[in-house]
Copies of this chain bind each other. A is one copy, B any other.
Amino acid sequence: MNFNLNFNDIAENYLFAEVADRVAKYTKTHPDKKIIKLGIGDVTLPLVPSVIKALHEGVEDMSKSQTFKGYGPYEGYDFLRENILAYYNKMGVNLALDEIFVSDGAKSDLGNILDIFSKDNVVLVPDPVYPVYVDTNIMAGRKIIFANATEKNGFLPMPDYKVHADIIYICSPNNPTGACYNKTQLKEWVDYANKNNAVILYDAAYECFVSDGSLARSIFQIEGAETCAIEFCSFSKMAGFTGTRCGYTVVPKKLVKDGFSANKTWLRRQATKFNGVPYIVQKGASAVFTEEGMKEIKQNLAYYMENAKTIAECMDELGIWYTGGKNSPYIWLKCPKGMGSWQFFDYLLENAQVVGTPGAGFGKNGEGYFRLTAFGSKEATKEAVERIKKLLK
């Protein structure tokens, strides 16, 4: 037996370990200082009452013979998929029910989807990037090329027809940069993909933060996407499901090549390697789409976006260049005074006791940039911003 030697080529990502290490060292030598963490990508508000109620109901269903649920459909229960369908309808996207697959999260499906594609495909990934896109493809032995996301293009790289790619990752609103493509820009990517016979793996995990109508919330708002794109969504940020685990993946039936249907192949893959999401969790996720549930999660999203606004306004006031913060919970800022990512990390930790994430941890183009997130408490975010202003003014 041999192990998969491609694992040798995956870079160990010490980013968050290194962050934790530096914070621990500082805390040890400065036990009296109160540290504020704006580095986290995890939600902090509890699940909303409508979801809690539905989860309890789901548990009750499992306690009685008449309502007990055994193996569920691989692609998810219709009661949830119908709600997702209606959610898309409201943004002007018409899907068929069997184009929607309930998942245990966008991350899992972004990795698992690769099972249906050939090993020989060339993968195009933006830099900086969420490390999962790169690592899952290295594991499978695929060739990866990078699209440079820089200050010059607003961290939104556009297609280059001189370069051929088969699988293209787009995350918009972006993690880590918070940058968000408008519909015209996405149309260029869709055209490129269709002309190159490529597939776009569209990570829409942060779509719920988009309020500007000129920006896309789904790739399927773009004409032609149904023949070249697969979309990955999540309840994680939308409804605080990071520890409850539910998402959905849209695989259009028009995405076909040489008699192969992406939709049918994905269903076959799921039927073979997955047994569906817990019934209880699907009940909870379904409640997100009720009138009351939607009202409640919008309050939570507004809470985080108020934090984002607080941070963005601080950057405006300080004259610091940044992306995100408006249709995204992430603020990606240029380190002031020409500092490097880790230099600014130490500077902020030592002088303001604020913790963020060094951009260099997300790729070479992240050097000199820094990520702050809106997922902290309102009070802590305000306090952090005051400290940053005092330090950098």
B-facing residues in A26-71 (Cβ within 8 Å): 42-47, 49, 52, 55-56, 59-60, 62-65, 68-71
| Chain B proximity mask over A227-256: 1 for CB below 8 Å, otherwise 0 | 000000000000010111100000000000
| Chain B proximity mask over A61-105: 1 for CB below 8 Å, otherwise 0 | 011110011111000000000000000000000000000000011
Judged by a CB distance under 8 angstroms, whether A153 is at the interface is: no
Can you list 7 A-B pairs, Cβ within 8 angstroms, ordered by A? A1-B117, A1-B118, A3-B257, A4-B118, A45-B68, A46-B68, A132-B273
CB < 8 Å neighbour of A121 from B1, B44, B245: B1
Q: Are B63 and A47 in contact (CB under 8 A)?
A: yes
Judged by a CB distance under 8 angstroms, whether A324 is at the interface is: no
Q: With the chains together, A187 CA to B240 CA distance in Å?
A: 48
Q: Are B2 and A257 in contact (CB under 8 A)?
A: yes
Min CB distance A247 to B, Å, is 10
| Chain B proximity mask over A270-283: 1 for CB below 8 Å, otherwise 0 | 00111111111100
Q: Are A2 and B117 in contact (CB under 8 A)?
A: yes
Judged by a CB distance under 8 angstroms, whether A199 is at the interface is: yes
Q: With the chains together, A304 CA to B45 CA distance in Å?
A: 43
Tally of this chain's copies: 2
Chain B residues with CB under 8 Å of A288's CB are none
* Contacts A4-B117, A7-B269, A52-B62 known; 12 new A-B pairs at CB < 8 A: A1-B121, A2-B118, A2-B121, A10-B268, A43-B70, A44-B65, A45-B68, A55-B59, A56-B56, A69-B243, A243-B278, A244-B278
Of residues A43, A107, A135, A272, which shows the largest number of chain B Cβ atoms within 10 Å of its Cβ? A272
Q: Are B1 and A167 in contact (CB under 8 A)?
A: yes
Number of interface residues of A (CB under 8 A): 73
B-facing residues in A1-19 (Cβ within 8 Å): 1-5, 7, 10
Min CB distance A196 to B, Å, is 8
Q: Are A199 and B257 in contact (CB under 8 A)?
A: no
Q: Are B46 and A116 in contact (CB under 8 A)?
A: no
Q: With the chains together, A211 CA to B111 CA distance in Å?
A: 40
Judged by a CB distance under 8 angstroms, whether A221 is at the interface is: no
Judged by a CB distance under 8 angstroms, whether A136 is at the interface is: yes
Judged by a CB distance under 8 angstroms, whether A115 is at the interface is: yes
Min CB distance A338 to B, Å, is 34
Judged by a CB distance under 8 angstroms, whether A215 is at the interface is: no
Chain B residues with CB under 8 Å of A107's CB are 273-275
B-facing residues in A101-138 (Cβ within 8 Å): 104-105, 107-108, 111-112, 115-121, 131-132, 135-136
Chain B residues with CB under 8 Å of A63's CB are 46-47, 49, 52
Min CB distance A171 to B, Å, is 16
Judged by a CB distance under 8 angstroms, whether A197 is at the interface is: yes
Chain B residues with CB under 8 Å of A151's CB are none
Judged by a CB distance under 8 angstroms, whether A198 is at the interface is: yes
Judged by a CB distance under 8 angstroms, whether A166 is at the interface is: yes
Q: Are B198 and A3 in contact (CB under 8 A)?
A: no
Chain B residues with CB under 8 Å of A243's CB are 62, 68-72, 276, 278-279
Min CB distance A379 to B, Å, is 13
